[in-house]
Structure 1
Protein backbone atom coordinates (compact mmCIF):
# COMPACT_ATOMS: atom_id res chain seq x y z
CA UNK A 1 0.00 0.00 0.00
CA UNK A 2 1.09 3.55 -0.67
CA UNK A 3 2.34 5.62 2.25
CA UNK A 4 -0.23 8.26 3.18
CA UNK A 5 0.70 11.44 5.01
CA UNK A 6 -2.76 11.97 6.56
CA UNK A 7 -2.53 11.43 10.31
CA UNK A 8 -6.24 11.81 11.05
CA UNK A 9 -8.08 11.70 13.30
CA UNK A 10 -10.07 9.07 11.42
CA UNK A 11 -13.78 8.23 11.45
CA UNK A 12 -15.99 5.33 10.37
CA UNK A 13 -19.73 5.68 9.69
CA UNK A 14 -22.10 2.75 10.13
CA UNK A 15 -25.47 1.66 11.52
CA UNK A 16 -23.83 -1.01 13.65
CA UNK A 17 -23.74 -0.48 17.42
CA UNK A 18 -20.05 -0.83 18.27
CA UNK A 19 -18.23 -0.62 21.58
CA UNK A 20 -14.98 1.07 22.56
CA UNK A 21 -12.15 -1.35 21.85
CA UNK A 22 -13.95 -3.20 19.02
CA UNK A 23 -11.95 -3.80 15.84
CA UNK A 24 -13.42 -3.21 12.40
CA UNK A 25 -12.72 -5.88 9.82
CA UNK A 26 -13.31 -6.42 6.12
CA UNK A 27 -15.39 -9.30 4.78
CA UNK A 28 -18.93 -7.89 4.89
CA UNK A 29 -21.41 -7.16 2.10
CA UNK A 30 -21.07 -3.84 0.30
CA UNK A 31 -23.59 -1.14 1.24
CA UNK A 32 -23.88 -0.25 -2.45
CA UNK A 33 -23.74 -3.65 -4.16
CA UNK A 34 -24.82 -6.26 -1.59
CA UNK A 35 -23.70 -9.17 -3.76
CA UNK A 36 -20.06 -8.07 -3.26
CA UNK A 37 -18.14 -9.09 -0.14
CA UNK A 38 -15.78 -6.22 0.61
CA UNK A 39 -12.05 -6.93 0.89
CA UNK A 40 -11.40 -3.63 2.69
CA UNK A 41 -12.63 -1.56 5.60
CA UNK A 42 -13.29 2.08 4.71
CA UNK A 43 -12.78 5.25 6.73
CA UNK A 44 -12.23 8.98 6.34
CA UNK A 45 -10.54 11.89 8.05
CA UNK A 46 -13.71 14.00 7.59
CA UNK A 47 -16.34 13.55 10.29
CA UNK A 48 -19.20 14.58 7.99
CA UNK A 49 -17.95 12.15 5.33
CA UNK A 50 -18.28 9.38 7.90
CA UNK A 51 -21.71 10.77 8.75
CA UNK A 52 -22.76 10.48 5.12
CA UNK A 53 -21.52 6.87 5.05
CA UNK A 54 -23.48 6.17 8.25
CA UNK A 55 -26.66 7.65 6.78
CA UNK A 56 -26.31 5.56 3.61
CA UNK A 57 -25.28 2.31 5.31
CA UNK A 58 -27.58 -0.69 5.09
CA UNK A 59 -29.39 -1.81 8.21
CA UNK A 60 -32.03 -0.68 10.63
CA UNK A 61 -29.79 0.75 13.34
CA UNK A 62 -29.20 4.42 13.99
CA UNK A 63 -26.47 6.10 11.91
CA UNK A 64 -23.34 6.37 14.04
CA UNK A 65 -19.92 7.94 13.57
CA UNK A 66 -17.02 6.40 15.45
CA UNK A 67 -13.57 7.79 16.07
CA UNK A 68 -11.18 5.06 15.05
CA UNK A 69 -7.51 4.38 15.51
CA UNK A 70 -5.48 3.26 12.52
CA UNK A 71 -3.69 -0.02 13.32
CA UNK A 72 -2.26 -0.99 9.92
CA UNK A 73 -1.29 0.17 6.45
CA UNK A 74 -3.91 1.90 4.35
CA UNK A 75 -4.36 3.47 0.94
CA UNK A 76 -6.47 6.14 -0.77
CA UNK A 77 -9.93 4.79 -1.59
CA UNK A 78 -9.75 4.26 -5.37
CA UNK A 79 -13.56 4.29 -5.62
CA UNK A 80 -13.52 8.05 -5.10
CA UNK A 81 -9.90 9.19 -5.35
CA UNK A 82 -8.95 10.36 -8.85
CA UNK A 83 -11.91 8.39 -10.26
CA UNK A 84 -14.53 10.84 -9.01
CA UNK A 85 -12.50 13.50 -7.19
CA UNK A 86 -8.97 14.42 -8.36
CA UNK A 87 -6.50 13.88 -5.55
CA UNK A 88 -8.24 12.90 -2.33
CA UNK A 89 -10.33 15.88 -1.14
CA UNK A 90 -12.72 13.46 0.61
CA UNK A 91 -9.77 12.13 2.63
CA UNK A 92 -11.21 8.65 2.11
CA UNK A 93 -9.10 5.57 2.78
CA UNK A 94 -9.28 1.80 3.00
CA UNK A 95 -7.31 -1.14 4.36
CA UNK A 96 -7.38 -4.92 4.00
CA UNK A 97 -6.20 -5.47 7.55
CA UNK A 98 -8.36 -5.74 10.64
CA UNK A 99 -7.93 -2.25 11.96
CA UNK A 100 -9.35 0.88 13.42
CA UNK A 101 -9.96 0.18 17.05
CA UNK A 102 -13.01 2.14 18.21
CA UNK A 103 -12.11 4.70 20.84
CA UNK A 104 -15.07 7.06 20.80
CA UNK A 105 -18.25 8.21 19.11
CA UNK A 106 -19.07 11.58 17.53
CA UNK A 107 -22.65 12.74 17.97
CA UNK A 108 -22.52 16.30 16.58
CA UNK A 109 -21.99 15.59 12.86
CA UNK A 110 -24.14 17.15 10.15
CA UNK A 111 -27.20 14.97 9.48
CA UNK A 112 -28.88 14.72 6.07
CA UNK A 113 -32.41 16.01 5.63
CA UNK A 114 -35.03 13.51 4.47
CA UNK A 115 -34.89 15.08 0.99
CA UNK A 116 -31.08 14.86 0.83
CA UNK A 117 -31.16 11.25 1.98
CA UNK A 118 -33.77 10.41 -0.67
CA UNK A 119 -31.63 12.11 -3.36
CA UNK A 120 -28.52 10.15 -2.30
CA UNK A 121 -30.39 6.84 -2.39
CA UNK A 122 -31.72 7.63 -5.88
CA UNK A 123 -28.22 8.55 -7.13
CA UNK A 124 -26.72 5.39 -5.67
CA UNK A 125 -29.46 3.23 -7.20
CA UNK A 126 -28.45 4.54 -10.63
CA UNK A 127 -24.68 4.06 -10.35
CA UNK A 128 -23.46 1.93 -13.22
CA UNK A 129 -19.74 1.75 -12.39
CA UNK A 130 -17.95 -1.09 -10.70
CA UNK A 131 -16.68 -1.10 -7.13
CA UNK A 132 -12.90 -1.40 -7.03
CA UNK A 133 -12.55 -4.11 -4.42
Structure 2
Protein backbone atom coordinates (compact mmCIF):
# COMPACT_ATOMS: atom_id res chain seq x y z
CA UNK A 1 0.00 0.00 0.00
CA UNK A 2 1.37 3.42 -0.91
CA UNK A 3 1.77 6.33 1.47
CA UNK A 4 -0.77 9.15 1.13
CA UNK A 5 0.39 12.20 -0.82
CA UNK A 6 -0.17 14.44 2.19
CA UNK A 7 -1.50 13.66 5.68
CA UNK A 8 -3.56 16.87 5.80
CA UNK A 9 -5.60 18.31 7.37
CA UNK A 10 -7.26 19.50 4.17
CA UNK A 11 -9.29 22.60 3.40
CA UNK A 12 -11.70 23.77 0.70
CA UNK A 13 -12.59 27.41 0.07
CA UNK A 14 -15.96 28.42 -1.33
CA UNK A 15 -18.80 30.90 -0.98
CA UNK A 16 -21.31 28.12 -0.44
CA UNK A 17 -22.94 27.77 2.99
CA UNK A 18 -22.34 24.10 3.81
CA UNK A 19 -22.96 21.79 6.76
CA UNK A 20 -20.80 19.17 8.44
CA UNK A 21 -21.34 15.89 6.61
CA UNK A 22 -22.10 17.52 3.24
CA UNK A 23 -20.25 16.02 0.27
CA UNK A 24 -18.62 18.19 -2.36
CA UNK A 25 -18.46 16.63 -5.80
CA UNK A 26 -17.02 17.37 -9.21
CA UNK A 27 -19.23 18.56 -12.05
CA UNK A 28 -19.53 22.27 -11.24
CA UNK A 29 -18.22 25.30 -13.13
CA UNK A 30 -14.67 26.46 -12.54
CA UNK A 31 -14.19 29.56 -10.38
CA UNK A 32 -11.47 30.66 -12.79
CA UNK A 33 -13.07 29.80 -16.15
CA UNK A 34 -16.87 29.63 -15.73
CA UNK A 35 -17.33 28.09 -19.18
CA UNK A 36 -15.45 24.96 -17.95
CA UNK A 37 -17.25 22.26 -15.95
CA UNK A 38 -14.71 20.61 -13.67
CA UNK A 39 -14.10 16.85 -13.65
CA UNK A 40 -12.49 16.99 -10.18
CA UNK A 41 -13.07 18.53 -6.76
CA UNK A 42 -10.12 20.58 -5.50
CA UNK A 43 -8.68 21.06 -2.01
CA UNK A 44 -5.46 22.06 -0.30
CA UNK A 45 -3.52 21.39 2.88
CA UNK A 46 -2.95 25.15 3.31
CA UNK A 47 -5.68 26.98 5.23
CA UNK A 48 -4.83 30.36 3.67
CA UNK A 49 -4.72 28.76 0.20
CA UNK A 50 -8.29 27.66 0.73
CA UNK A 51 -9.03 31.17 1.98
CA UNK A 52 -7.72 32.63 -1.27
CA UNK A 53 -9.89 30.19 -3.23
CA UNK A 54 -12.89 31.24 -1.13
CA UNK A 55 -12.21 34.94 -1.75
CA UNK A 56 -12.04 34.54 -5.54
CA UNK A 57 -14.81 31.93 -5.81
CA UNK A 58 -17.84 32.75 -7.92
CA UNK A 59 -21.00 33.84 -6.16
CA UNK A 60 -22.22 36.45 -3.72
CA UNK A 61 -21.98 34.48 -0.48
CA UNK A 62 -19.53 35.05 2.33
CA UNK A 63 -16.13 33.39 1.69
CA UNK A 64 -15.81 30.27 3.84
CA UNK A 65 -13.05 27.77 4.55
CA UNK A 66 -14.07 24.24 5.40
CA UNK A 67 -12.04 21.38 6.81
CA UNK A 68 -12.58 18.44 4.45
CA UNK A 69 -11.60 14.81 4.13
CA UNK A 70 -11.22 12.95 0.86
CA UNK A 71 -13.48 9.92 0.44
CA UNK A 72 -11.22 8.29 -2.14
CA UNK A 73 -7.88 8.61 -3.84
CA UNK A 74 -6.52 12.00 -4.88
CA UNK A 75 -3.63 13.44 -6.87
CA UNK A 76 -1.53 16.58 -7.07
CA UNK A 77 -3.41 19.41 -8.81
CA UNK A 78 -1.62 19.67 -12.18
CA UNK A 79 -2.79 23.27 -12.61
CA UNK A 80 -0.33 24.42 -9.92
CA UNK A 81 2.17 21.57 -9.68
CA UNK A 82 4.68 19.71 -11.84
CA UNK A 83 3.04 20.49 -15.18
CA UNK A 84 3.28 24.24 -14.49
CA UNK A 85 5.46 24.63 -11.37
CA UNK A 86 8.05 22.28 -9.81
CA UNK A 87 6.80 20.15 -6.94
CA UNK A 88 3.62 21.01 -5.08
CA UNK A 89 4.41 24.13 -3.01
CA UNK A 90 0.71 24.98 -2.66
CA UNK A 91 -0.08 21.46 -1.36
CA UNK A 92 -3.05 21.49 -3.75
CA UNK A 93 -4.88 18.31 -4.71
CA UNK A 94 -7.83 17.09 -6.71
CA UNK A 95 -10.05 14.03 -6.73
CA UNK A 96 -12.82 12.52 -8.81
CA UNK A 97 -14.24 11.25 -5.50
CA UNK A 98 -16.30 13.49 -3.20
CA UNK A 99 -14.77 15.29 -0.25
CA UNK A 100 -16.68 15.48 3.03
CA UNK A 101 -17.12 18.63 5.12
CA UNK A 102 -15.89 17.87 8.66
CA UNK A 103 -15.60 21.40 10.05
CA UNK A 104 -15.22 25.08 9.32
CA UNK A 105 -12.32 27.39 10.19
CA UNK A 106 -12.61 31.11 10.78
CA UNK A 107 -8.99 32.06 11.47
CA UNK A 108 -7.67 32.24 7.93
CA UNK A 109 -5.96 35.31 6.50
CA UNK A 110 -8.37 37.58 4.62
CA UNK A 111 -7.15 39.58 1.65
CA UNK A 112 -7.35 43.33 1.48
CA UNK A 113 -9.58 44.63 -1.33
CA UNK A 114 -6.41 45.70 -3.18
CA UNK A 115 -4.78 42.28 -2.84
CA UNK A 116 -7.99 40.57 -3.93
CA UNK A 117 -8.14 42.73 -7.06
CA UNK A 118 -4.48 41.95 -7.81
CA UNK A 119 -5.27 38.22 -7.64
CA UNK A 120 -8.29 38.62 -9.91
CA UNK A 121 -6.21 40.60 -12.41
CA UNK A 122 -3.42 38.01 -12.26
CA UNK A 123 -5.87 35.15 -12.85
CA UNK A 124 -7.42 36.98 -15.80
CA UNK A 125 -3.96 37.47 -17.31
CA UNK A 126 -3.02 33.82 -16.77
CA UNK A 127 -6.28 32.68 -18.38
CA UNK A 128 -5.55 34.83 -21.43
CA UNK A 129 -1.91 33.76 -21.71
CA UNK A 130 -2.20 30.05 -20.95
CA UNK A 131 -5.86 29.58 -21.70
CA UNK A 132 -6.14 25.97 -20.58
CA UNK A 133 -7.24 24.50 -17.29
CA UNK A 134 -5.93 20.98 -16.91
CA UNK A 135 -9.23 19.23 -16.24
TM over 0.5, yes or no?
A: yes
Deviating beyond 6 angstroms after TM superposition, the runs of 4 or more aligned structure 1 residues are none
| Residues 93-108 of structure 1 aligned to structure 2 (within 5 Å) | 93-97=93-97, 99-108=98-107
1:116 corresponds in structure 2 to 115
1:22 corresponds in structure 2 to 22
Displacement after TM superposition at 1:4 (Å): 3.9
* Contact 2:29-2:36 at 8 Å conserved across structures: yes
* Contact 1:76-1:88 at 8 Å conserved across structures: yes
1:8 corresponds in structure 2 to 8
Give unpaired runs (5+ residues) of structure 2: none
Displacement after TM superposition at 1:5 (Å): 2.8
* Contact 1:3-1:75 at 8 Å conserved across structures: no
Quote the Cα distance in structure 2 between the aligned partners of 1:104 and 1:86.
Answer: 31
* Contact 1:3-1:74 at 8 Å conserved across structures: no
| Residues 58-73 of structure 1 aligned to structure 2 (within 5 Å) | 58-73=58-73
Quote the Cα distance in structure 2 between the aligned partners of 1:28 and 1:3.
Answer: 29
* Contact 2:27-2:38 at 8 Å conserved across structures: yes
Give unpaired runs (5+ residues) of structure 1: none
Paired residue total: 131
Higher helix content, 1 or 2: 2
TM-score, with structure 1 as normaliser: 0.94
* Contact 1:26-1:39 at 8 Å conserved across structures: yes
State yes or no: 1:131 paired with 2:117: no
Structure 2 residue matching 1:48: 3-state secondary structure? helix
Structure 1 residue matching 2:37: 3-state secondary structure? coil
